[in-house]
Structure 1
Amino acid sequence: MVKRMLRRLSLALLALSLLLGAFVTHEWFAQKPFMFRVFLDRSLLKVVLKSPETLTSLGFLESMGFTAHNGELNNDSPEEMDVLLAQLDDLKATLLSYDDAYLDENEQLSKDISLYLLDFIIASKAYRYHNYPVNQLFGVQNDYPSFMASTHQIHDVEGAEYYLSRLEKVKVKFAQNLEGLKIREQKGIIPPKFVIERVLTEMNAFIDTPVTENILYTELVDKIDSVTDFPLQDKERILLTARVHIQDSVYPAYNLFIHYFSILQSKAVDDAGFWHLPNGDKAYQQALKFFTTTDLTAEEIHQLGLAEVARIQTEIVSILETQGYDVSEGFTQGMAALSNEPAFYYEDSDAGRAQILQDYDKILAEINQGIGKAFMVKPKALLEVVRIPEFKEKTAPGAYYQQPAIDGSRPGRFFANLYDIKATPKYSMRTLAYHEGVPGHHFQLSVAMELESMPFIRKMAPFVAYAEGWALYSEQVAWELGYQADPFDNIGRLQAELFRAVRLVVDTGIHYKRWTREAAIEYMLVNTGMPETDVVAEIERYIVMPGQATAYKIGMMKILSLREKAKLDLGEKFDLREFHDVILKNGAMPLTILERVVDNYIAARSLENDRL
């Protein structure tokens, strides 16, 4: 009897296992999976699985024993992108085939966000080559060494072998990128002269560095040395092979670009704006739509920027005046006096730069302790502050953030630019730390990654106005919580907001109103009080990233307006922590959809209040 029961149970379990296997197989291969979330996650996962560099960055396969992707590089060929773009119409058709009536509120939101993204990408196919993928800020020529240094993990000999594999394969990656550059050249999309000059200077310096001093080699040495009990014989073999690969594979890859850009240089012009490219005006408006997730025109954004610049400058002048500064000639005079005071700067030395990093850590530790006053949700991921790699800091922005690995193997990183000591006045540090760290980028992106109920597209959606708008908004939240109570720290906060308002003016000025690079630099110098090195780097950034810089202020203003709306409608029942939950726990989204989400929250909360 017992044997018969066990046999039946075994058969039942086998049948269940087969059914589950058949279901899983169906969900992976069927054009339309039964489960809506499976469709969303599967669609994104199929894209991610073709990107070994993304897989390394996310770091979730390693915990399941899959590591081979760490020895591969992305296929950057135009043909690979053709394949991806060709799939979009079918993806949209399948997405639309899921009946709204059978979706819950969260699934409906996921559908709307995914549809927004798909519609935009499909509409942007015509402008696919309207960009400068190799420039002074980013591109394979500096993304590759940065990726190898900060993202590729080495915990054992296998990880080091994968590092070598990626060194050897880099020439193919550069050749694939070169194909795309040549297509752009044929279409008349050639970077301005200064961009070509910058990348040539950068790449020549990179290959002129002795192999054993190159970041690709020194970082490998550091990574291996950090591994306890790494076999000495393996270390010697790996380092020898790395030297060979850098000399025979990496440097020749860079020479491909150096040769190409040296010839392209004669075809480049000084015109900086997108307006001078074929269909550049339409491409710029499309860029504005993508980055702001609104239908605001370039003219509307320009005028909004001018108004915000005037408002914020008035606030700064008022504070400077109360602190005893002569502002009889206005904002520029007051900020010039402030920026010339030695007390606001660190020692221009290695020790001074090390102290900056330590002080950033203290600022972040302090706000972490009191963040519960405004937030119910907190990320689990850790955050560290590091210096931007020196080989690229001269043309890099003042700071940027790199999100943590999903499996926790790599913390979030706030990269600070320490090239020019005058670019880090003490009164600006709190604001920058809040923007990049807590409660800014690290806080928002880590919370999104840790949301268990969200499909991956909601955790990783590239909505810049939401993400950068949140980071800029978080600067004001920190001030409201009392963390910039010192008047000079408040000037630092207002100067950061002013900086983003000026961006609205200069970005549209360059690409819509046909300002020259020099005119934009002059406007930003006069109206921000920033060091010239920072201003030049920023203006040159806007030239190669049209529209991106407008997202910050547009996003911040939308979040603030939605908060004010919630306050007015809910009155005494308004809870700032609840409002922040609504913004953060739904992941990134277009501002138009964010407004709908907040409206739904207000309506639901109001109904609860009426019942009470």
Structure 2
Amino acid sequence: MIDRRRLLVSAVAGATLTGLFVPVMARAVTSDPAEAAKLNAIFDAMFKEVVATSPTAATYLGLDKGDNAAAKSKLDLPTAEYLAANEAMRRKYVAQLKAIDAGKLTGMDAVNLATVLYDSETSLIGYDRYRFGNQGSANPYLISQLGGAYRDIPDFLDTMHSIETEADAEAYLARLEQFATLLTLETGLVTADFGKGIVPPDFVIERTLTQMNASIAAAPAENGLVTSLVRRAGAKSIAGDWAGRATPIVADKIYPALKAQIALFESAKAGATHDAGCWRLPGAEGYYDFGIRSYTTTTLTGDEVHQLGLTQVAEISTRADAILKAEGMTEGTVGVRLGEMAKDPRFIYPNTDAGKQTLLDDLNAQVRAMQARLPDYFGILPKASVEIRRVPPAIEAGAPGGYYQGPSLDGSRPGAYYINLRDTAEWPKWTLPTLTYHEAIPGHHLQIAISTEAQGIPTIRKLIGFSAYSEGWALYSEQLADEMGVYDADAWGRLGYLQSLLFRAVRLVVDSGLHHKKWSREQAIRYMVDTLGDQESSVTTEVERYCVWPGQASSYKVGHTEWVRLREDAKAQLGAKFDLKGFHDVALSSGGMPLDVLKIVVGEWVAARKAA
């Protein structure tokens, strides 16, 4: 099944680049036209096959119209035949791409080949070694508090499935019917995984059940699956008994399918372990290494990740300590003092609808202020706008604090930055500017929208994301905001920036602690609370997130460290010839890629600047 999160937000990557990217001096000055044409023909075929076989991807990309309008009535259904075809498609294109002579390619052709082959070969590692979970990716549990149709499809139908015509509303009803089928198929896959011993920890099961039960708490007629259709059809004056037709589907098909999933997870509770890491899963030897390779696009070991985290935690804590002391806060550890600040009433929005709206208004003001600064630091800016949205209340209990959703390829849908407002106390005012710069601009929105709109990148690459590249850029953007001077008169805001960096450095320690050093959930929570001073409720959600995505939490700081290293190395080599706008433009307009490919792209830009 095509995983929208993997394809379009922070997809896996991780096989070694050895043999995939020919060094600059060994390549032709320009690509051989015939070899480049063969490569681009493969990319075109890959893209067309993905869109043809994944109706949800077609909708996400804004391509469920015209000749492909039939996709709008369908969902990706993980039948045995579908899963086998998806794997076969991967293997077919890996073989074709490996037959391309990389020595005859240069520039973006070489980058495109290395990047797509890297992603595809990494998927094959998953298929070859780990026949469970979200196969082909480093996600061991198909359904959890962070994934599964029960969680993803209602939001997909509400925010991605556009309703402009009667045909769109009819397609929505058809997708409701398929949603029930999808749930049943997923239940069968998870039942098989449970039979292999691939069972989430007991606390993940509890969190998942909380969200599943919330999805059936309302009467069918009041469920968002019905009200979304009724509301949007009404807004377009599309006549029809949409409530009367949608409600029986929800009541008689979707709710029973959801209740069957709930029953499956309830039955698994008694035998579930409390052990948090993927090290305990049968047949999962080396799974954390796979996660590290997948998400960080490096071959760092668990010990190396852990030590990197400890080193950076110490360095960032020292910087935060200096600001706290300068502001008169001298007693206790950095974490204790940050915790005191987080509870200070002057920094807390009221946990009311009005308070939450004020918080959203303030975020929008921060985006507007940053937008005005961007032309001084970037030569290329995206056309797509970004919207700030609240995480849907039905899933906020287990959802991350904030995340980004990219714009459609056709420009019909803007980017969106989601913030979790389950409790405004989790967002002291001094922490919010940095979150905005990370999730919106100059962070995820700038990077992903520029990549989406860039020329010279085959469309298939625009479906692939690399967490270390994108999350590393978002952290680099936080640093860049500080370098722009946004905190020159705001010591608390700068402290929020350092706390964010500290949070990601702590993730290195906790992620490797859980999956490599066999830490317990409670040990991980205590380390984060003590080091960061965060509320235990938000820390608990974070730790449980790391438990179901081995390696993903490490991608942020690993990527940030490499982005900064590449920039500083370019500065050192170029001196007066260094151009910050040029560095940003070449690295972003080349699209998402593994860190080793980014290193080569920046290296070639440096060489060109030297020659100029």
1:142 maps to amino acid: R
CA distance in 2, matches of 1:36, 1:553: 33
Specify which of 28, 53, 57 is matched with residue 54 of structure 1.
57
Partner-residue secondary structure (3-state), 1:538: helix
CA distance in 1, matches of 2:340, 2:177: 53
CA distance in 2, matches of 1:351, 1:299: 46
* 8 Å CA contact retained: 2:339, 2:535: no
Shift of 1:65: 5.5
- Partner of residue 120, structure 1: 122
Shift of 1:124: 2.1
Specify which of 296, 311, 315 is matched with residue 292 of structure 1.
296
* 8 Å CA contact retained: 1:281, 1:512: no
Specify which of 501, 504, 512 is matched with residue 500 of structure 1.
504
Please, which moves more after superposition, 164-173 or 296-305?
A: 164-173
- Partner of residue 543, structure 2: 539
Matches within 5 A, 1:142-541: 142-227=151-236, 229-231=237-239, 234=240, 237-325=241-329, 327-485=330-488, 486-541=490-545
1:118-160 Cα offsets, whole Å, 9 max, x none, are 2212222212415111111221111111111211111121111
Task: Report the CA distance shift for 1:213/1:522 in structure 2 as closer, same or farther (over 3 A).
Answer: same
1:245-278 Cα offsets, whole Å, 9 max, x none, are 1111110110120121122222211111111112
1:501-547 Cα offsets, whole Å, 9 max, x none, are 00000011011111110110000001112222110000000001111
- Partner of residue 84, structure 1: 86
- Partner of residue 13, structure 1: none
Shift of 1:103: 3.0
CA distance in 1, matches of 2:295, 2:93: 23
1:249 maps to amino acid: K
* 8 Å CA contact retained: 1:460, 1:588: no
1:332 maps to amino acid: G
Please, which moves more after superposition, 96-105 or 579-588?
A: 96-105
Shift of 1:70: 1.1
Shift of 1:61: 4.2
1:473 maps to amino acid: Y
1:41-90 Cα offsets, whole Å, 9 max, x none, are 2113202321111111110342x464221111112234422222233333
Matches within 5 A, 1:530-569: 530-569=534-573
Matches within 5 A, 1:99-118: 99-118=101-120
1:312 maps to amino acid: I
Partner-residue secondary structure (3-state), 1:267: coil
Task: Report the CA distance shift for 1:353/1:167 in structure 2 as closer, same or farther (over 3 A).
Answer: same
CA distance in 1, matches of 2:234, 2:503: 42
2:201 maps to amino acid: P
Please, which moves more after superposition, 514-523 or 128-137?
A: 128-137
Task: Report the CA distance shift for 1:128/1:603 in structure 2 as closer, same or farther (over 3 A).
Answer: farther
**Structure 1: gaps of 5 or more residues:** 1-31
CA distance in 2, matches of 1:372, 1:456: 27
Number of residue pairs matched by the alignment: 570
Task: Report the CA distance shift for 1:33/1:437 in structure 2 as closer, same or farther (over 3 A).
Answer: closer
Shift of 1:34: 5.2
Please, which moves more after superposition, 464-473 or 181-190?
A: 181-190
Task: Report the CA distance shift for 1:600/1:202 in structure 2 as closer, same or farther (over 3 A).
Answer: same
* 8 Å CA contact retained: 2:36, 2:109: no
CA distance in 2, matches of 1:38, 1:239: 46
* 8 Å CA contact retained: 2:42, 2:93: no
Matches within 5 A, 1:11-22: none
Shift of 1:388: 0.5
2:599 aligned with 1:590: no
CA distance in 1, matches of 2:604, 2:417: 34
* 8 Å CA contact retained: 1:77, 1:179: no
Please, which moves more after superposition, 72-81 or 107-116?
A: 72-81
Shift of 1:556: 0.5
- Give percent identity, aligned residues only: 39
- Partner of residue 143, structure 2: 134
2:84 maps to amino acid: D
2:97 aligned with 1:95: yes
- Partner of residue 74, structure 2: 72
In angstroms, what is the RMSD of aligned CA positions? 1.6
**Structure 2: gaps of 5 or more residues:** 1-34, 134-139
Please, which moves more after superposition, 553-562 or 120-129?
A: 120-129
* 8 Å CA contact retained: 1:170, 1:253: no
- Partner of residue 578, structure 2: 574
CA distance in 2, matches of 1:194, 1:50: 35
- Partner of residue 30, structure 2: none
Larger radius of gyration: 1
Partner-residue secondary structure (3-state), 1:329: coil
2:402 maps to amino acid: A
CA distance in 2, matches of 1:574, 1:133: 46
Shift of 1:102: 4.1
* 8 Å CA contact retained: 2:64, 2:71: no
Task: Report the CA distance shift for 1:176/1:165 in structure 2 as closer, same or farther (over 3 A).
Answer: same
Shift of 1:101: 4.8
Task: Report the CA distance shift for 1:162/1:61 in structure 2 as closer, same or farther (over 3 A).
Answer: closer
1:183 maps to amino acid: A
1:462-511 Cα offsets, whole Å, 9 max, x none, are 21100111111111111111123311001111111111000000011011
Please, which moves more after superposition, 145-154 or 41-50?
A: 41-50
More RCO (CA 8 Å, sep 6+): 2
CA distance in 1, matches of 2:102, 2:599: 20
1:89 maps to amino acid: R
TM (norm. structure 1) is: 0.90
Shift of 1:280: 3.1
Partner-residue secondary structure (3-state), 1:87: helix
Task: Report the CA distance shift for 1:185/1:75 in structure 2 as closer, same or farther (over 3 A).
Answer: same
